[in-house]
Structure 1
Amino acid sequence: MLSTLLAFLGACTLIAASPGPSTVLIIKNSLRSRRSGFLTVLGNETGVFVWGVVAALGLTALLAASQFAYDVMRIVGAVVLVVFGAQTLWAARKRKKDEGEAEGWEAPERSGWSSYRGGLLLNLANPKAAIFAMSFLPQFVPAGAPELPAMIALAAIWAVFEVGYYGVYVWCVGRMKTYLSRVHVRRRLEQISGGVLLALGARLALDG
């Protein structure tokens, strides 16, 4: 059991280390504040746990088997990514108009619910996250263990582990806040993250 758990945590580390839309959103919101970044992490990991439970119940098999259902989720996910990317680029454009303001300008704080909802929505709108959970979790169910509770437990461990992992990202961004809060630096980072989100949205939309 211990060796299985260690292998599972190692796999979780590799998954978390792979850059994706959630990583971009977490870093982007962490630029506002550690609170915003951490709540985005909690939202994202709620989505991870939800997909894990859905996979345990076997419902993601329906998504994998139905091209229509997958395509609907794929388009919804692409729209979510494009909207987030466009909002980020718009914020960067507005910030450009404020270039004359003093260095150290602080972005207005988002509500906690807004940050949490963003992380949750981005994860739940990604059909690949659902399919991945279905293929990933069963590999680590110990032999002879009841599959449903074991997969739910693994999903919970996965989500808690990633809270700690992405929490390090939030902490690191917070430590660099003085530098990252400079208007031109913040604007450049928003341009990059907005462009990445748009590109990921376009890729998901075109990925059959």
Structure 2
Amino acid sequence: MLTFAVAALLLIMIPGPDQALITRNALVGGRTAGLSTMVGGTLGLSVHVSAASLGISALLLASTAAFTVLKVIGTLYLMWMGIATLRSARRKVQESDGTGAARLLSRTQCLRQGFLSNALNPKVALFFVTFLPQFLPSTGHTLSNTLKLSVIFVLLYLLWFSLYTATVDRFGAFLRRATVRRRIEMTTGVLLIAFGLRLALQN
């Protein structure tokens, strides 16, 4: 259990699309936007947890056509988000503390972005089908043990990104300066497009 927790935490800490979105939204809309994006990401993980527990993920990954469709949709979404972020970075950035920009992002938008980022990512499905089973006991109730490990993963996800969002918000006064925020948003946009391209090129 401890080995799984450590390995899962390290995987969560690796930069990915969800971290890029949480960073961007926390800068634009503050801590509430960052946490809302995180909650959306958690809901996206829950989709894969349920699918893996019921054996749906294994069927999905076994079907080349279904996996390809999910990969294409995920790729298009990440690239669309990346382009939208780059366009946002090109607009005039206010020199204030970001309160004006916060109105541009609603909680629903942040939830949706976080949810789709994980729900449409086949790599997350692959994780629950290939990585998680390595820590399941050879005997016993597979479903209950799968759910137990999945809950641990989700809790670690919430813990890490809660701390991460708080840190971004803590340094918000500096990070929301016009030039700094513009550069961060441009970097985030490029990363999202890169994540989408990498996803498209993976077999």
TM-score by length of 2: 0.93
Q: Equivalents in 1 of 2:180, 2:138: separation in Å?
A: 51
Moved beyond 6 Å, runs of 4+:
none
What is the DSSP-based 3-state SS (H/G/I as helix, E as strand, rest coil) of the residue aligned with 1:33? helix
1:38 counterpart (24, 35, 50) = 35
Q: Equivalents in 1 of 2:88, 2:184: separation in Å?
A: 11
Count of paired positions: 200
Q: 1:56–1:134: 8 Å Cα contact kept in structure 2?
A: no
Structure 1 regions of 5+ residues with no counterpart? none
Are 2:105 and 1:108 aligned? no
What is the DSSP-based 3-state SS (H/G/I as helix, E as strand, rest coil) of the residue aligned with 2:91? helix
Structure 2 regions of 5+ residues with no counterpart? none
Deviations 1:131-162 (A, max 9, x none): 11111222222343301122122212211111
1:151 counterpart (125, 146, 149) = 146
* Paired position in structure 2 for 1:10: 6
Counterpart of 2:12 in structure 1: which amino acid? A
TM-score by length of 1: 0.90
Q: 1:53–1:151: 8 Å Cα contact kept in structure 2?
A: no
Identical-residue share of aligned pairs (%) = 36
* Paired position in structure 2 for 1:127: 122
* Paired position in structure 2 for 1:206: 201
Are 2:21 and 1:25 aligned? yes
Q: 2:30–2:102: 8 Å Cα contact kept in structure 1?
A: no
Q: Equivalents in 2 of 1:94, 1:185: separation in Å?
A: 14
Q: CA deviation at 1:46?
A: 1.7
What is the DSSP-based 3-state SS (H/G/I as helix, E as strand, rest coil) of the residue aligned with 1:104? coil
Q: Equivalents in 2 of 1:29, 1:15: separation in Å?
A: 22
